[in-house]
Structure 1
């Protein structure tokens, strides 16, 4: 077993199992409100409308993000049909491919067993494994930034030939273009800041001459600029909103109400880096040491991690997904450290995983105590079997890791920890499905979907549930609601209704004419509609929402 990871056949079997397992879990959960439903709906609308330039949400212009994720999800829908796993496919592929790219980079840049260990670390790190099956933009931008990082590391090796350096630097510039299309200016601001600080701290000033900046910038513009020009030509309001409101104001101001303390990401890193947390301090310390040669890959990776964490810690807008781009770099640093780590260090990693299992198993019987209502108790009860399995897997894998580490079997110990970390994440994610399905209101949406025609109006009163729109396969007319749709409604006010009074009049008019119409109501508004005497039939309730129609 100690030589398992040295066999090409065994590595191939492990790789195939990882790919199949990572793709299989994509269909285990309903799309969670709001992010997963939002991005799935945007892709559905793009595919059906045929407009691949102007991104829309609920039929309304939506320019908060660039289009790469929407393009890829729409392409997935076109190839495999519209559904849950298809919406997550782009992130799933990005997660898997980045694991292999990280492993390849570790082998090319550091040699030895670093590549294999780095791939094991990244593929099983809780945050990476979780976001790889979550339909949001964070994993896509992390993967495209990792492409730039890995290509840069390979290109800048002291032993790289001129042709190899040029080839990989073009890949690096292409990765930045994709990052720009995935999340915006951070795709070039973050790598640029890392390079500047690396040159300053390492003394490797000549790196800027080795970037092929003219060819690279031309390639970046050729890949990224066309969409920005086309969308601005069709929507002159887009550039100011995207570059000023969504970049400068989001970073500097608290307009999005996503602020947090400066140590927000440092605290989050503790669970996010499981099960490899004990290896991180020594990995980062080792990266700071100078190695022979002009290029200092460890220092560049260290700057990458620290700068990105500092950048988002300083920002006034903080969300957990913002830190995902640091994990490929952390995995490479951990791979370097684990190749030479002592038996005690390996035992610490495995023991932490076992401890997580013990604590989780001890707490699982009492998990229902977290319920805020009687209805939530049943959801926690449904989750409990998955928690038993998740923490049992962590405990067993941790114990196997401790035993093999004690016997000096490094490969076996790291493989056991990686498998345990991956299973822990996937089982917890699968166990969240009862909550996710309730929050998504998928059952309520699909109950009326067979009745819906393209002409039937569906109003969304005082609320907007992104996942419902996707599962109904039908856009809604927002009533007395703006929030993230505000900018689009300013451009196209005819797509919404500003006041409840106007909605009452339109609903009564539709009912009088015999029109079939539906309304998704914020629950506290339902009694008011009853007092108004609106002709309506209750169709269902769920998660603070009431669904009514004007005909039985």
Structure 2
């Protein structure tokens, strides 16, 4: 009797799991709801507490803040400097987000970095949902869901969801365009595309141009060119209704491009094309140089936990390259990837818009039982699944001890759990339980997000230099900085922060200002004190802030000198 009851409970458990899966897969809305919940679990920890991350994030946020301060939504500026590197789309989105927060009564909305991150959060969630939509052109509902879940849990999208930059929203626009293009190619015999697919395609295309200029053209153009060569025809592109779509695109993007041309006298195009875009191709962007192969190596970190599974799927893509779905995915990935590898300027997030195609091929290979422990070296190579969380746990603990003399105690339970679950995912792979391995990877990613972004960054006080400096000068009307010039300081202290070029200028700034403070990097303090003696000035040393500047890779110590005369 006991054995019979146990068997019934086991059968009931199996029935319940199967019933739950069947219940979810019966509806796109249910699957998308689960994807949104997974995305929020991966993207929200630390969203409001992570400091403005130098240098790009506060540059975007500060330029958006200045739009609100000046009421000028055409020109893009960082303090007095024109910021003509990217189009205006993301600045409008960030400004609207902050204006809404301000209207809803958020305290100090314009210096609340989380409000500027909301477009990136929405872009990351849209990337996940649009990946599901795009993958439905290649796979069934379960396969499309797993593909989108790989995107929701991958490291690089988790990072970009928390940064007030263009990349998460660009990824959403890109996958919208490529999902529409896939439907045009894979259903080209039908001769017509649903109106919804056309709307998604052209909206993604127009917004992509308004957010990051020609990149969306590169992704779609190179893919279309490869497939047109394969077909020896471009007629299948006509199903996208190009003339109507281009008219829509021009209606969306042309007003601002004309307005900025008039406002800047052509300087926008000179800087955006001549310096920023061509500079990446040449040598101007020397600070982010890396050799070819950088993205291939970085991929194993950026696309974790799915990266090693994708690597095992590479032979599948080659063997099945003549199949139309695989051919499309390869046309999506390979040409743009080669361009990124060839360009000297390299940053890990550049290849983010290509990752949905890699996820599609990976799930294709898994669904056909190609990926598993039977593949050469697979059992050994999948040690990378636990390696990333274990490495982060050790590395962040060592960094916290080195910089702050303590351990990230609040983060350790979640990071250890992420490591243990990832180790279990490795074991599941070895046992050829691929679906369970994927789910364990998703859960490990959630735990990692909680540990790293939710807690570990809170304990790394030495990295929060600008935040700590800004706290020391609240209420000061005039603030300058000598030696430490990170954009996050401008964002947190205010647009009028004076960037001082020497000790004499810093001393004169204090002498000629009322209720003023100056941040002085230790390298300049002796000269600063000498200049004060010449000016017969004796500012008070309020405090010192020491930490580690991740951009310069150096420890810094900054004195906060102030004069309180004239303070309210």
Q: Name the TM-score class by shorter chain.
A: 0.7 to 0.9
Distance apart, 1:337 and its partner CA = 1.9
One of 58, 75, 84 as aligned partner of 1:63: 84
One of 533, 537, 549 as aligned partner of 2:562: 549
One of 150, 153, 161 as aligned partner of 1:132: 161
Moved more, 388-397 or 101-110: 388-397
Q: Which residue of 1 aligns with 2:489?
A: 468
The 1:233–1:305 alpha-carbon spacing in structure 2 relative to 1, beyond 3 Å, is same
One of 92, 100, 105 as aligned partner of 2:134: 105
CA distance in 2, matches of 1:250, 1:115: 35
Query: What count of residue pairs does the alignment treat as equivalent?
Result: 518
CA distance in 2, matches of 1:519, 1:233: 38
Q: Which residue of 2 aligns with 1:39?
A: 60
**TM-score, structure 1 normalization:** 0.83
Q: Please tell me whether the aligned partners of residues 129 and 422 of structure 1 are also in contact (alpha carbons under 8 angstroms).
A: no
The 1:217–1:343 alpha-carbon spacing in structure 2 relative to 1, beyond 3 Å, is closer
The 1:505–1:343 alpha-carbon spacing in structure 2 relative to 1, beyond 3 Å, is closer
Q: Which residue of 1 aligns with 2:550?
A: none
CA distance in 2, matches of 1:472, 1:238: 28
Deviations for 1:172-221, whole angstroms, at most 9, x for unmatched residues?
A: 23322212222222221332122212322455543344443322222222
One of 438, 442, 451 as aligned partner of 1:427: 451
Deviations for 1:271-322, whole angstroms, at most 9, x for unmatched residues?
A: 1121112321343443442566xxx232222122222221121112111221
Q: Which residue of 2 aligns with 1:441?
A: 466
CA distance in 1, matches of 2:398, 2:36: 40
Which structure has more relative contact order (CA 8 Å, sep 6+)? It is 1
Q: Which residue of 1 aligns with 2:41?
A: 21
**TM-score, structure 2 normalization:** 0.81
Residue 33 (structure 2) pairs with residue 7 (structure 1): no
One of 348, 353, 357 as aligned partner of 1:320: 348
Q: Which residue of 2 aligns with 1:525?
A: 524
Q: Please tell me whether the aligned partners of residues 52 and 488 of structure 2 are also in contact (alpha carbons under 8 angstroms).
A: yes
The 1:255–1:352 alpha-carbon spacing in structure 2 relative to 1, beyond 3 Å, is closer
SS of the equivalent of 1:48 reads helix
The 1:405–1:369 alpha-carbon spacing in structure 2 relative to 1, beyond 3 Å, is closer
SS of the equivalent of 2:560 reads strand
Deviations for 1:95-123, whole angstroms, at most 9, x for unmatched residues?
A: 11211111122224433522111012111
The 1:73–1:436 alpha-carbon spacing in structure 2 relative to 1, beyond 3 Å, is farther
Q: Please tell me whether the aligned partners of residues 537 and 550 of structure 1 are also in contact (alpha carbons under 8 angstroms).
A: yes
One of 103, 122, 125 as aligned partner of 1:96: 125
The 1:522–1:184 alpha-carbon spacing in structure 2 relative to 1, beyond 3 Å, is farther
Alignment of 1:83-482 (within 5 A): 83-111=112-140, 113-158=142-187, 161-164=190-193, 168-201=197-230, 203=232, 205-236=234-265, 237-288=267-318, 289-290=320-321, 296-341=324-369, 344-345=372-373, 356-357=385-386, 361=390, 364=393, 369=398, 376-378=403-405, 381-383=406-408, 385-399=410-424, 402-403=427-428, 406=431, 410-430=434-454, 431-435=456-460, 438-449=463-474, 451-452=475-476, 456-480=477-501
The 1:206–1:350 alpha-carbon spacing in structure 2 relative to 1, beyond 3 Å, is farther
The 1:531–1:468 alpha-carbon spacing in structure 2 relative to 1, beyond 3 Å, is same
Q: Which runs of 5+ in 1 are unaligned?
A: 481-498
SS of the equivalent of 1:383 reads coil
Q: Please tell me whether the aligned partners of residues 522 and 559 of structure 2 are also in contact (alpha carbons under 8 angstroms).
A: yes
SS of the equivalent of 2:519 reads strand
CA distance in 2, matches of 1:527, 1:201: 68
CA distance in 1, matches of 2:388, 2:352: 26
One of 534, 539, 545 as aligned partner of 1:536: 539
The 1:36–1:540 alpha-carbon spacing in structure 2 relative to 1, beyond 3 Å, is farther
Quote the RMSD (CA, aligned, Å): 3.2
CA distance in 1, matches of 2:450, 2:349: 18
Distance apart, 1:365 and its partner CA = 6.2
The 1:291–1:252 alpha-carbon spacing in structure 2 relative to 1, beyond 3 Å, is same
Distance apart, 1:548 and its partner CA = 2.2
CA distance in 2, matches of 1:235, 1:176: 25
Q: Which residue of 1 aligns with 2:7?
A: none
One of 55, 62, 73 as aligned partner of 1:52: 73
SS of the equivalent of 1:27 reads coil
SS of the equivalent of 1:262 reads coil
Distance apart, 1:230 and its partner CA = 0.8
Moved more, 99-108 or 263-272: 99-108
